[in-house]
């Protein structure tokens, strides 16, 4: 499990530039002897189970937050904008890498203010002496992601892009453990693009697949750190969460109740979740066409959208167990 997550987290794949991570996931799927297709926007779709019954769309986004180069200065420094929710306070001193392997360091201009100065006061240093040498490696519009390899400490993993490569790992592992014969209907396992910039991949694949039900697999915030930003009971290591609500969706009671029933019947620990800020693919899926009852399963994660996100391996295992039992269950 750790190796799979490590491989996924190491891959490059900011929103809109998911080519590398998609290839890594595709290779895993080929190992499982499953077929897949890639849709117009780049979502990777695996179809499993018998046609004719209820169709379920399970989505985990494979994109990650990142930076995009907007300007290259005379002296070789790069200016950038954000792809998704970058947290400024984590930027100075952070390393990033580009799709071609170029590594850069983020610097900050002198700042005497206590409040966050805005992204225009940060720059990227790729070791270029001037614009010309910079342009040999990077051009405007190129994207970069954090360089922060995975590390394990006990049951906890920390790395960049656990949001949402851990969700991708849950889908891949569930795919490998489930036999098509145990599925009551057709399941579309989808690795979506561009979630971090507005749930865009999920929107088009929900429209295309027309599922009866939707389920997003993603990470969620916790309240078990000193003075957390939001008051929540969600903690690391106490099980995956069953989402009730976030900024983008009020989960359909039929789906949340089914998830909780399945968890209880199979003695899988879970935590109910209300996420005050942030959304997942469930937000786009449930508004597709004339409405799709949708829920979400989340892996609790600390330090979301920093280079050092953290999850607990037990939560990942229990997340896989819950997803597996949920997809096998006949009560949809």
Partner 1 sequence: MDMEGLLRKLTEEDGVSGYEKKVAGIAAGAFSPYVDDTRTDNLGNLIFLKKGQGNSPPRLLICAHMDEIGLIVTKVEENGFLRFTSLGGFDARTLPGQAVNIYGRDKVPGIIGFKLPPLYTEQEKGQGVKMEDLFLDTALTPEVVRETIAVGSVAAIERKYLTLQHNSRAGKAFDDRAGIVALWQCARELHKIRHEADLYLVATVQEEVGTRGAVVSTFGISPDLGIAVDVCHGDFPGALEQETSPLTKGPVVTSGPNIHPFIAEKLLHVAAEYHLPYQRDVSPGPTGTDARAIQITMEGVPTGLLSIPLRYMHTSVELVDLEDIKVAGLLLARFVAAVDRAFVEGLVCL
Shortest distance in whole angstroms from residue 149 CB to partner 1:
34
Binding partner 1 (rule: CB under 8 A), the pick from 70, 120, 225, 233 is: 233
What are the phi and psi torsion angles at 275 (to 5°)? -100, 115
Report if residue 52 touches partner 1, rule: CB under 8 A.
no
Binding partner 1 (rule: CB under 8 A), the pick from 223, 225, 261, 265 is: 223
At 158 the three-state DSSP class reads strand
Q: Which residue has the tokens 């690391």?
A: 236
Binding partner 1 (rule: CB under 8 A), the pick from 68, 250, 308, 313 is: 250
28-36, 168-176, 249-257, 304-312 -> range binding partner 1 (CB under 8 A)? 249-257
Shortest distance in whole angstroms from residue 222 CB to partner 1:
11
Shortest distance in whole angstroms from residue 287 CB to partner 1:
5
Report if residue 305 touches partner 1, rule: CB under 8 A.
no
Shortest distance in whole angstroms from residue 244 CB to partner 1:
3
E strand map for 50-172: 56-61, 66-72, 78-83, 95-98, 103-108, 122-125, 143-146, 151-153, 156-159
Binding partner 1 (rule: CB under 8 A), the pick from 293, 295, 300, 319 is: 293
Shortest distance in whole angstroms from residue 243 CB to partner 1:
9
Residues 263-292, interacting with partner 1 (CB under 8 A) = 271-274, 276, 286-287, 289-292
- How many C-beta neighbours within 10 Å does residue 141 have? 10
61-69, 80-88, 145-153, 245-253 -> range binding partner 1 (CB under 8 A)? 245-253
Sign of CA dihedral 37, 288, 66, 242: negative
Report if residue 226 touches partner 1, rule: CB under 8 A.
no
Binding partner 1 (rule: CB under 8 A), the pick from 253, 261, 265, 331 is: 253
Report if residue 224 touches partner 1, rule: CB under 8 A.
no
From the list 209, 326, 311, 229, the residue with the least C-alpha distance to 278 is: 229
Count of residues that bind partner 1 according to CB under 8 A: 24
Q: What is the DSSP code (8-state) at residue 193?
A: S
From the list 131, 27, 30, 141, the residue with the least C-alpha distance to 80 is: 141
Angle between helices 162-177 and 2-10 (to 10 degrees): 130
| CA 167/CA 193 separation, integer angstroms | 13
From the list 132, 116, 21, 128, the residue with the least C-alpha distance to 66 is: 21
At 98 the three-state DSSP class reads strand
195 noted as active-site residue: yes
Give me the catalytic one of 28, 173, 195, 309.
195
- Give the residue numbers annotated as catalytic, written as ranges: 195
Positions touching partner 1 (CB under 8 A) are 223, 230-234, 244-245, 250, 252-253, 256, 271-274, 276, 286-287, 289-293
């Amino acid at each position: 499990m750790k190796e799979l997550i490590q491989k996924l987290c190491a891959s490059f794949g900011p929103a809109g530039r998911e080519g590398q991570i998609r290839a890594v996931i595709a290779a895993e799927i080929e190992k499982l002897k499953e077929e897949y297709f890639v849709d117009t926007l780049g979502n990777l779709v695996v179809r499993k189970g018998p046609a004719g019954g209820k169709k379920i769309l399970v989505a985990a986004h494979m994109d990650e937050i990142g930076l995009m180069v907007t300007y290259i200065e005379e002296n070789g420094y790069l200016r950038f904008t954000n792809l998704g929710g970058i947290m400024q306070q984590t930027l100075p001193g952070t390393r990033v890498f580009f799709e071609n392997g170029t590594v850069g360091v983020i610097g900050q201009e002198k700042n005497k203010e206590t409040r966050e100065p805005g992204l225009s006061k940060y720059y990227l240093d790729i070791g270029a002496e001037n614009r010309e040498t910079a342009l040999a490696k990077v051009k405007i519009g190129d994207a970069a992601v954090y360089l922060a390899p995975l590390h394990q400490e006990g049951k906890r993993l920390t790395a960049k892009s656990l949001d949402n490569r851990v969700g991708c790992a849950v889908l891949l592992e569930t795919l490998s453990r489930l036999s098509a014969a145990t599925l009551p209907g057709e399941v579309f396992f989808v690795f979506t693009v561009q979630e971090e910039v507005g749930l865009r991949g999920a929107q088009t694949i929900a429209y295309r697949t027309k599922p009866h039900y939707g389920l997003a697999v993603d990470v969620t915030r916790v309240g078990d750190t000193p003075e957390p930003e939001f008051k929540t009971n969600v903690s690391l290591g106490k099980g995956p969460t069953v989402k009730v609500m976030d900024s983008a969706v009020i989960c359909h009671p039929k789906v949340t109740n089914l998830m909780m029933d399945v968890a209880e019947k199979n003695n899988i620990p879970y935590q109910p979740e209300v996420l005050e800020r942030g959304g997942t693919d469930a937000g786009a899926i449930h508004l597709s066409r004339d409405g799709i009852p949708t829920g979400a399963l989340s892996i609790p994660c600390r330090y979301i959208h920093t280079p050092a996100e953290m999850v607990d391996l037990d939560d990942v295992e229990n997340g896989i167990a819950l997803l597996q039992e949920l997809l096998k269950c006949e009560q949809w």
